[in-house]
Structures are given as C-alpha cells and as structure tokens.
Amino acid sequence: MKIYRLHTLVLLLLLAGTAGQAGADEGGFYSWLLSVERKGEVAPVNDEVYKEECGSCHFVYQPGLLPAASWRKLLAAKALEDHFGENAELDEDVRRPLLALLEKHAADQSYYKRSRKIMASLKGATPLRITEVPYIRRKHDEIPERLIKPNAKVKSLSYCDACHQQADKGSYDDDTVSIPGHGDWTW
Amino acid sequence: MRHILLMVCMAMLMTSVTTAVAAKIPTSLPELLEFYSAESNQPFDAERGKEFWLKKTPADDGKMRDCTVCHGEKLTDSGKHVKTGKVIDPMAPSVNKERYTDRKKVEKWFKRNCKWTIGRECTAQEKGDVLKYLSLH
C-alpha cells in the first residue's frame, strides 16, 4: 500500500512537471491534455535567442501566431534582407535554429486555443503578416479606426503590446486590453 | 523501483532546459579596432567617424537616413527604432557597459544597419572610424 502511494505521488509530480514545461515546449497532445494550466491563449516564448534576435527590433511575436509555412517564407535568407522594409539578415548558424524553433512551435503545431482558431480561419493560406490572419482581423473588427491609426501610442495592429498588457506572456484576453488614450476595452 | 522513478523524473527535468544558445565572440573596443585595422589602410579617426555617423543618404522611401534616425541625437541616451519604436540602448560605452563586448553582435548590426542606412556594407575603415568616434562617449 505504501509503495502504491509513493508511485501515485511520483506520477503526480511527473504530471505537474510536464504541465509546467508546457509553456516552453508543448510536448504533444498528451502533455497538453494533462496540463493543469489554462490552454486558452498562445504558447509564450521562452527562448532567449529568439527574444534577442527578433525582439531587438520589434515585439516578440509568439511562434503560435502563424503557421510553419508562413515562418518558412519570412525566415528565408533572401526574405530577411528585406523584412518589411528593414534589413534583418541573420547568419546561417542563427537563422537555421531560429527557423526550426518557429516551425516547431508554429500555429499548426500548437494546441493552444488561439493557435487552433488561427489555423481554422486561414484555410490553408500562409500570410506574411499576422494582421492578415482572418481570425485576428475579425477579433479587431469592432475597434474604431480612430483608436488605432491616428493614435500615436498605437499606430497599427502590428504593435500587439501597445494595448494587450499581457501580450509578452502570450495572453490576448479581452480583460487584459487597455487602449492608450481610451482605457480598458470592455464589450 | 523508487530509484528508477526518480531517474525518470530527473531525465524529464533535464530535457526541459534545452534551448538554443547564442554564439558569442567576446571582445573589447581595443580588440575590435585591432580587428578592423587588419583590413584598413589608414589609422582610425574619430572625426571622420563622426562625419560618417551623421552623413545623410537618401533612401527609396524619399526620406534621408543616417545613424541618428534610430540611435538618436545624443549617444549617451537611448534611441528608438524608427519604424517599430522599440527602445535601442545607448551607444556610448560610458553608460552602456554591454556595448562592444561581443564581436558577433557588432558585426551583425554593422551589416544590417550599413545596408539599411547607406545601401551597402561598410568597409573596415568606416567601421573602425565609427567605433573610434563612439568609443569617446
């Protein structure tokens, strides 16, 4: 009986361990299923190289916001030379592991709710811009244009963290939205 | 039995911390100047570096570009990415000890930023002159 209880304890610890890791590495369907944390949003990014290489210039977009095919187009060596008008060239020894990381955690590989919805809305499309994802466009439809473009502290939907206060943690819930010059966004 | 389970636990914990490691080439300002001097034909000059830093080049979008577009007017202050608004730490080594300590990083940004600002890669002479200028702040 005692041994049986010990095993249960160890098993529980194992499960808790996989749940805690899930943010960094989803580890497949079962670790997602057994995870105790809410799988609502987008998997957060924990990779220091990704944060450094991409986050020096812009918000660290979570890999789960686009499908792997989109990341492959964006991270192609040639494409990086003109990355939305900027030169974002990477050495091959950095570019390859980064692309591998993005492919591994891309929306089509993720069980997180928003990644699933992004994939469902894309219907096979592979956009270069996250703002072109139908699901994301639809989610921002009701926000008046005057709060975005003419708003100096927002300017464009590309700046996720201008309004989404928890964007860096992969959370895009309504409750965490605060539009500069407007305040909390409630429905 | 208990040992086996513990080992399994340990193995799982260990596999969770495998993330990519950024390759660094530790360096210093004197070492960098030495590195670029191998390919330059005259001694580095801070005044020439300053001119280069401030030299305006017309871009395809009709605007003028120079280093201050993103790095700001004052080297001891933070800059701001012209497009994304992301804060860029000061270039002056006197206030930013992290600057010029990784050759890989220095080379990456020289490559990207020279191409964006002047439309081509910088020569070793230009890099050395600029570093000499920046090192005085």
Domain extent listing, chain A: 2-33, 48-184
Q: What is the complex's ipTM, to 2 decimals?
A: 0.73
> What pLDDT score does A46 carry?
86
pLDDT at A19: 44
Q: What is the pLDDT of residue B125?
A: 97
pLDDT-based confidence at residue A161 (cuts at 50, 70, 90) = very high
Q: Which residue out of A4, A10, A161 would a mutagenesis test of the B interface target, given it has the greatest number of B Cβ atoms within 10 Å?
A: A10
List CB contacts (< 8 A) between A13 and chain B. Answer: 9
Q: Tell which residue, A131, A133, A134, A180, has the closest CA to residue A156.
A: A131
From CA A157, how far away is CA A136, in angstroms rounded? 10
Is 70 exceeded by the pLDDT of residue B17?
A: no
Asked whether the predicted pLDDT for residue A21 surpasses 50, the reply is no
Give the model's confidence band at A59: pLDDT under 50 very low, under 70 low, under 90 confident, else very high: very high
* The predicted structure's pLDDT at residue A186: 64
Closest partner residue to B20 among A18, A58, A101, by Cβ? A101
Question: Does any CB of chain B come closer than 8 Å to the CB of residue A186?
Answer: no
Sign of torsion, CA A158 A159 A165 A170? positive
Whether residue A17 is predicted with pLDDT greater than 60 in this model: the reply is no
Give yes or no for A78 touching B (CB within 8 A): no
Domain limits, chain B: 24-135
Tell me whether B87 touches chain A (CB under 8 Å): no
Through-space distance between the first and last CA atoms of chain B, rounded to whole angstroms: 64
Q: Is A75 on the interface with B (CB under 8 A)?
A: no
Q: Of residues A184 and B25, which shows the higher confidence score?
A: B25
Is some CB atom of chain A closer than 8 A to the CB atom of B81?
A: yes
* DSSP H helical ranges for chain A: 2-21, 29-33, 48-55, 68-74, 77-81, 92-104, 113-122, 134-140, 160-163
Q: Which residues of B touch A17 (CB under 8 A)?
A: 9, 12-13, 16
The pLDDT mean for chain A works out to 85
Q: Kindly list the residues from chain B whose CB atom is less than 8 angstroms away from the CB atom of residue A159.
A: 84-85
- Percentage of residues of chain A with pLDDT beyond 70: 78
Nearest CA in chain A to B80: A57
In the chain, the amino acid numbered B31 is E
Query: What letter would DSSP give residue A168?
Result: G
With 0-12 / 13-18 / 19 or more C-beta atoms within 10 angstroms meaning exposed / middle / buried, residue B64 is: exposed
Q: What mean pLDDT comes out for the span A63-81?
A: 97
pLDDT at position A41? 87
A164: β partners: A177
- Is the minimum CB–CB distance between B9 and chain A shorter than 8 Å? yes
pLDDT in tens, B115-136: 999 999 999 999 999 999 999 9
* Minimal-distance CA residue of chain B relative to A84: B83
Average pLDDT over residues A90-117: 94
What lies within 8 Å, CB to CB, of A184 at 6+ separation is: A177, A178
Q: Do B81 and A57 touch (CB under 8 A)?
A: yes
> Is-contact A151 A181, C-beta < 8 A?
yes
pLDDT at position A162 over 80: yes
User: What stretch of H or E contains B64?
Assistant: strand B64-65
Q: What is the CATH number of domain B24-135?
A: 1.10.760.10
DSSP secondary structure code for residue B65 in this structure: E
pLDDT at B24: 87
Distance between B111 CA and the closest CA of chain A, angstroms: 8
Q: How confident is the model at residue A37 (pLDDT cuts 50, 70, 90)?
A: low
Query: With an 8 Å Cβ cutoff, are A58 and B19 in contact?
Result: no
Put simply, the answer to whether A10 touches B115 (Cβ < 8 Å) is no
Across the range A77-94, mean pLDDT stands at 93
Write the pLDDT tens digit of every residue in B57-104: 999 889 999 999 999 999 999 999 998 889 999 999 999 999 999 999
A16 has pLDDT over 80: no
- For residue A130, what pLDDT band results from cuts at 50, 70 and 90? very high
d(CA A145, CA A149) in angstroms, rounded, equals: 6
The 3-state DSSP class for residue B57 equals strand
Judged by a CB distance cut-off of 8 A, whether residue A101 touches chain B is yes
Distance CA B43, CA A85 (A): 35
pLDDT tens per residue, range B23-55: 789 999 999 999 999 999 899 999 999 999 999
Chain A neighbors of B21, CB-CB under 8 A = 49
Classify burial at A37, counting beta carbons within 10 Å of its beta carbon; exposed 0-12, middle 13-18, buried 19 or more: exposed
> How many CB pairs (< 8 A) connect A and B?
74
| Beta carbons within 10 angstroms of residue B81's beta carbon | 16
Give yes or no for A97 touching B (CB within 8 A). Answer: yes
pLDDT at B5: 59
Cβ-based contacts of A53 with chain B (< 8 Å): 22
Distance CA A50, CA A53 (A): 5
Q: Determine whether the interchain pair B2/A6 forms a contact, defined as Cβ–Cβ distance below 8 Å.
A: yes
A103 and A50 in contact (C-beta within 8 Å)?
no
pLDDT at A182: 84
Q: Determine phi and psi for A179, rounding to 5 degrees.
A: -85, 120
Give residue A34's region: left, alpha or beta (phi > 0; psi -120 to 50): alpha
B121: which DSSP letter?
P
- Band of pLDDT at residue A1, cut at 50, 70 and 90: low
Phi, psi of A65 (to 5 degrees): -90, -10
pTM of structure: 0.78
